[in-house]
Amino acid sequence: MTKRQDAVLTNARLVLDNQVIHGSVVVEDGIITRVDEGRSAVPGAIDFHGDYLLPGLVELHTDNLEKHFVPRPGTRWPAMAAIVGHDAQVASAGITTVFDALCVGETSSGGDRLEILAGMANSIREARSKHLLRAEHLLHLRCEISHPDTATLFKEFIGDPGLKLVSIMDHTPGQRQFTTIEKYKYYYVKKYGWSDTEFEKFVEKQTEASARYGAANRRAIVALAHENDLTLASHDDATIDHVDEAIADGMVVAEFPTTLDAARASRDRGMAILMGAPNVVRGGSHSGNVSALDLARDGLLDILSSDYVPMSLIHGAFILARAELGIDLPAAIRTVTATPAARVGLTDRGRIAEGLRADLVRAHDTGDVPLVRGVWSHGERVI
């Protein structure tokens, strides 16, 4: 049977594994079948006029879907409208594979995350089954171990074919993301408008919950993850002890280490270091922790995540490439394509190479913010 020729993309700057070349790519049946230097003479070839052709971006950790389910405090959006709107936003940012990070467990009473957890998961499944999505959506469960029901809630997801990644979170006051009570207080008082008394009661409650449930929940979730071949990530490691604990639990991704010591220990122990692209775009952490650019300068950054701003993923990669950090464009693009894909076992994407999925992005570099001018997901043009 003759293969259907989906597209010929030509006159592009192809960002390959270790070099940028002027060339063309042929896509057939959703697969990259040829990568050639030079311009194609095939009639109907799509002329990129010198724009970049990148692999489709792979996003491991974004809670952007939450903002579509709860666009304002106390406001709930219809589930299918929320997932379709979120999908359109990530696809238009060049993201063709997205791990929607769903929070299992809560860090404060009165939050939305427990209420919307099932709705978010079900909306992803339903939209996927109805072929409504432009990007491929997979699940990343962020497990808050200080919540009493976290392990029970996590078990309900076992067997979901979309579940690929699990991270262990512990937002107990005064450690990890907020290494001091002062930082913790500044964030939560500003977020919820608490009085000093209300904040003190919250800290007491969270500290008690962590002591009571944290260790048991961690053991249960780590064991289930290993039994079901799920990739494990640590979260907000601040100390060498945190990193050693992560290694003992078989974690392979270090999400958002908050200190230089933790990042160095993660690298020494073979973990891939993931940092937020908003940290790169803003030039620093919104929590006052270690700068992603400083880690990149020291060779301690492997993966970028858009976290809470989808467009920051491609923007952050281009900033890395022009920030005089010793990182060229192919290396910068690997942080948002090949490296995250490989760490979660997705060996069929993340690179422009024959035989791989035709997840591709056309990007125009303005010298400031890169513009996404076209997106192909498994060979189908979606943007």
Residue 303 in tokens = 């993966």
> What confidence tens digit (pLDDT) does each residue in 368-381 have?
999 999 999 999 99
**Domain 5-381: CATH architecture, name and number where available:** Alpha-Beta Barrel (3.20)
Least-confidence region, from 84-88, 119-123, 184-188 = 184-188
pLDDT at 110 over 80: no
Task: Give the mean pLDDT of the chain.
Answer: 92
Q: Structure pTM?
A: 0.91
pLDDT at res. 374: 98
Q: By 3-state DSSP, what share of the chain in percent is helix, strand and coil, each rounded to 5?
A: 35, 25, 40
Report d(CA 161, CA 45) in Å as an integer: 37
Separation of first and last alpha carbons in the chain: 29
Sign of CA dihedral 280, 283, 287, 292: positive
> What confidence tens digit (pLDDT) does each residue in 321-337 have?
999 999 999 999 999 99
pLDDT at res. 1: 34
Beta bridge partners of residue 233, listed in sequence order: 167, 253
Buried-state track 14-40, b at ≥16 Cβ within 10 A, e below 16: bbbeeebeebbbbbbeebbeebeeeeb
> What confidence tens digit (pLDDT) does each residue in 62-81 have?
999 999 999 998 899 999 99
**Domain extents in the chain:** 5-381
- 114-134 average pLDDT score: 95
> What confidence tens digit (pLDDT) does each residue in 243-274 have?
999 999 999 999 999 999 999 999 999 999 99
Residue 111 pLDDT level (bands cut at 50, 70, 90)? low
pLDDT at res. 2: 43
